[in-house]
Structure 1
Amino acid sequence: MTTVIRARRAVVDDGERACAVIIRDGRIVAVEDYATPVPGAREVVLADDEALLPGLVDTHVHVNDPGRTEWEGFASATRAAAAGGVTTLIDMPLNSIPSTVDVAALEVKKKVAAPQVVVDVGFWGGAVPGNLADLEPLWDAGVYGFKCFLAHSGLDEYPPLDREQMVAAMRIIAGFDGLLIVHAEDGPTLDAQQAPSGRRYSDFLHSRPRLAEERAIAQVIDGAAETGCRVHILHLSDAGSLPLVAAAKQAGVRITVETCPHYLTLFSEEILDGSTHFKCCPPIREATNREGLWRGLADGTIDCIVSDHSPCTPELKKLGIGDFGEAWGGISSLQLGLPIVWSEARRRGHSLADVVRWMARNTAAVAGLAGRGEITVGNTADLCVLAPDDAFVVFPEKLHHRNAVTPYAEMALAGVVRQTWLAGEPLPVATGDSPAPVATGDSPAPVATGDSPAPAPRAKLLSRKDTR
């Protein structure tokens, strides 16, 4: 069947215009003027207060399944993604057991994920001490790149690389033009700080100084320049490191950078002592630093925005005692990323097209996900229907995340995701009432399917070889 979606506002060609998006066999076959007749097509007309966006691409998600499924899981994570307008995510190699550091572990993860996913899912591999021989087989098996740490990951089963090990991995990855993605905090610099303990957020912030990011990023740049390897800096929190990145890009180093909604929205001065649900690594820094990150997005030094959805159980957040030394670090925001970023972006004069560029087009490009992140002929018909001027209040118990722990609790956000389409079909996920909207406009609310939905018929596991 041919479907036509008519939208008075759609983000197309890096701008907004009214259009008719024509879909057949799961792909966009034409983008025409709004009133173009399409005989025999299924007609979908968006409300005047709705905008049509490409489905978002979130390349930094910790699903934790298998092994730590009580933290999250493919059913709950992909349901949350769909409710937030995310149609493609790439799962991180750690927090699951086993970690995705060889092909056997990748096959275990794929077997667990396949019967559960509601949106499309791809996988990162890992680069850890001792697995150099596994990197190319993982690449051949379809991972999108390799994640390494330069400091302790928080999990003994996923140790960091020192500089020599990182460069050795870069040489191998450069040989097949792969991608190394790096948690860029310098281990020796962190080890030299006083370990955090107790309820004071300022003590935790001081334990992970800006200098740790700056030193690690400098090492990554030097290694990439030496080896020619493509590299990507994960979850940048330190705006002071941006001149290093800008100079490297100008010098021809193949480097890209991401940041996250929590660094663009939250700031350290507002975090109360004991509020361990704000703990993440690298940490949320000062308000002035936040504004520097927005400038980095505006000038293109920062390429994209991803969630770094890193959930855990409430018990691991130590909410009862509020000890930043004992609490697990990570922010859960997979379902909320679009409204979080849009709420802040619109205040600064940015457009929906800017947000789409940061959260869909560029994320797809960094990972090498062809045919996604844009409304254009030939692309997969993954779409998000957003009411940008509608608003809602975040109630954690309404989210599809497995655990109701979020620093955004009771925050008012602009931008309600009313529907998500995957490969030309609407997903049966309650996007309209989770999170609970203040107003739903003229569109009927989608129907909830329960806590453990069946996989969407068109959802699939992705391989780099299939989507290049």
Structure 2
Amino acid sequence: MVELVLRSRRAITGGGECAAAVAIEGGTIVAVGGYDDVFDTEVDTDLGETALLPGLVDTHVHVNEPGRTEWEGFASATRAAAAGGVTVIVDMPLNSLPPTVDVPSLRVKQEAARGKTFVDVGFWGGAVPGNLSELPGLHDAGVFGFKAFLADSGVPEFPPLSSDELRAALSSLRRAQFVVHAEDPRHLGDLSSAATYAEFLASRPVEAEHAAVATAVDAARATGGRVHILHLSAATALPLIAAARAEGLPVTAETCPHYLALDAGHIPDGATEFKCCPPIRDAANADLLWQALADGLITCVVSDHSPCTPELKRRDTGDFAAAWGGIASVQLGLPVIWTAARARGHSLADVAEWMARRPADLVGLRDRGRIEVGAQADLVAFDPEETFVVEPVRLHHKNPVTPYAGKKLAGVVRTTWLRGHAVTGDTARGRFLTRKDA
């Protein structure tokens, strides 16, 4: 007897897309059989042509609670995640107050989240000037690694590291994963105002990313530390990452849906909902990011869900210089990527690899992001043929601001299961995850 069986003619398993039946007991996948296999169960759900995907793992989410909960919170962010097929998020250490730069601040954040999470939640720690001695304690407390900025983060309580400070941090904890916002301030423009997207884009040129990626790679080479480049936007930095990988350095990179699916050439002036840092670039740049993703040079696609209040987006003035930089997309990443990936000839199995298995592997969660025996029963029923138009009022994140408003996307999440339980948004079954779970 098993608790639940889910059948799909389009299940995404380790072998790719196939017809399969997935048996679940105690929150774990206990069998992956043929579509017509018989199991002793009281609940046997046939999804037919609706695809069955592993739950997505989003390792780049800014929840902002406590301290800036008017921007976002654990309840709203994890409801949005579940609605988008995401079953694990890893929360970034900044934009909350206090930032997660020591063990007491981690405990404050966990207490703020307690009882409010509809999916499982892990945490990144922060590496900032002066907290080097706090990193071992945070690591032992279970954060999945440490985020560092090489340029201004946008909030004063989370200042950037110099190149020497980055090396010192990597040297202090060679076993830890460091994730780096790679923009070099020496190449960033200082805008007092920017009414056009072109002005904003020119202020954050590809040279800023290229130089910062080079700094991060040099730090990995000098220390042996593990470095992951966050939200890569500039394709010109890809050869640096390829050379580091060929050298055997522990350097990886991610990108985001907005860099793959949006085009700077089609962003209207004053449309500050498109502002993020690093910025969305042109279609030719996106083509190169797609190729790097297909080649495995870019390992995963995550949201960089970074919301704020509508007022902070300065939609009233359309001033890109004054607007907060961030795109809220944790609920929309799967259909955004599937819409663009399908048009380029990629498969659902590719999307699951980029958005589920590989992000899980980045943080060492080897029982997440996959449909196989022994994995957690975190699953998604996804209709890849159905389309919908994005209506901001239907999104679950706290403030309905999105650059995808009005866009027609392919792929609808029908049901998300967390450890075999359907996530309805009524019962908060999410757990805190730590590095010790990996």
TM-score (normalizing by structure 2): 0.99
Q: How is 1:18-167 mapped onto 2 (pairs within 5 angstroms)?
A: 18-48=19-49, 50-167=50-167
Aligned residues of 1:173 and 1:180 also touching (Cα < 8 A): no
2:316 paired residue among 293, 314, 320: 320
Q: Is the 8 A contact 1:8 1:34 kept in 2?
A: yes
Classify the secondary structure of the residue corresponding to 2:17.
strand
1:189 and 2:187 correspond: yes
State the number of aligned residues.
Answer: 437
Corresponding residue number in structure 2 for 1:272? 268
Percent identity between matched residues is: 57
Runs of 4+ in 1 over 3 A off after TM superposition: none
Q: Which residue of 1 aligns with 2:380?
A: 384
2:256 alignment partner, one of 246, 253, 260: 260
In structure 2, the residue corresponding to 1:37 is in which secondary structure? coil
Q: Distance in 1 between matches of 2:415 and 2:268?
A: 35
2:247 to 230, 251, 261: 251
> Could you say which residue in structure 1 is the equivalent of 2:428?
455
CA offsets 1:40-75 (integer angstroms, 9 cap, x no match): 342111132x00000000000000000000000000
How far does residue 242 in structure 1 lie from its aligned partner after superposition? 0.5
- Counterpart among 349, 355, 363 of residue 359 in structure 2: 363
Query: Contact 1:63–1:77 at 8 Å: present in 2 too?
Result: yes
Q: Which residue of 2 aligns with 1:302?
A: 298
1:346 aligns with 2:319: no
For residue 14 of structure 1, report the CA deviation from its aligned partner: 4.2
- Over the aligned positions, Cα root-mean-square deviation in angstroms equals 0.9
Q: Is the 8 A contact 1:364 1:373 kept in 2?
A: yes
Query: Structure 1, residues 362-402: CA drift from partner, whole Å, max 9, x if none?
Result: 00001111210100000000000000000000000110010
For the Cα contact (< 8 Å) 2:147–2:178, is it kept in 1? Answer: yes
Shift of 1:200: 1.0
- Partner residue in 2 for 1:432: none
- What displacement does 1:189 show? 2.0
* Contact 1:196/1:204, CA 8 A, preserved across alignment: no
Check if 1:215 corresponds to 2:211. Answer: yes
8 Å contact from structure 2 (residues 5, 41) kept in 1: no
Tell me how far 1:194 sits from its aligned partner.
3.9
AA matched with 1:280? C
Aligned to 1:449: none
Q: Residue type of the partner of 1:200? A: T
SS of match in other structure, 1:4? strand
| 1:164–1:273 Cα change, 3 Å | same
Opposite residue 158 of structure 2, the aligned amino acid is: Y
**Distance in 1 (alpha carbons) for counterparts of 2:313 and 2:7:** 45
- Write the mapping of 1:325-340 to structure 2, written as runs, cut at 5 A: 325-340=321-336
Work out whether residues 196 and 203 of structure 1, in 8 Å CA contact, stay in contact via their aligned partners in 2.
Answer: no
- Deviation track 1:146-174 (CA, whole Å, cap 9, x = no partner) reads 00000000011100000110000010120
Contact 1:342 1:415 in 2 (8 A): yes
| Contact 1:14–1:357 under 8 Å retained in 2 | no
Counterpart of 2:327, as a letter, is I
Question: 8 Å contact 1:196–1:207 — kept in the other structure?
Answer: no
Q: Could you list the runs of 5+ residues in structure 2 that have no partner in the other structure?
A: none
Q: Secondary structure at the match of 1:218?
A: helix
Q: Does 1:426 align with 2:422?
A: yes
| AA of the residue aligned to 1:300 | G
Deviations 1:132-153 (A, max 9, x none): 0010100000000000000000
Asked if 1 retains the 8 angstrom alpha-carbon contact of 2:7 and 2:48, the reply is: no
Aligned equivalent of 1:228:
224
Of stretches 37-46 and 138-147 in structure 1, the one that deviates more from structure 2 is 37-46
Q: What do the CA deviations read for 1:256-275 (whole angstroms, capped 9, x no partner)?
A: 10000000010110011111
Residue-by-residue CA offset, 1:251-305 (whole Å, 9 max, x unaligned): 0010110000000010110011111010000000111101111011011110000
SS at match of 2:60: strand
Deviations 1:193-244 (A, max 9, x none): 2425131111100100100000000011011011100110000000111011
Letter in 1 for 2:103: V
**1:14-59 deviation digits (Å, cap 9, x = unpaired):** 41000110100000001011111112342111132x0000000000
What secondary structure sits across from 2:417 in the alignment?
A: strand
In 1, are the aligned partners of 2:21 and 2:36 still within 8 Å (CA)? yes
CA contact (8 A) 2:148 2:178 kept: yes
One-letter identity of the residue aligned with 2:388: F
**2:238 corresponds to:** 242
Deviations 1:328-373 (A, max 9, x none): 0000101000000000000000000000000000000011112101
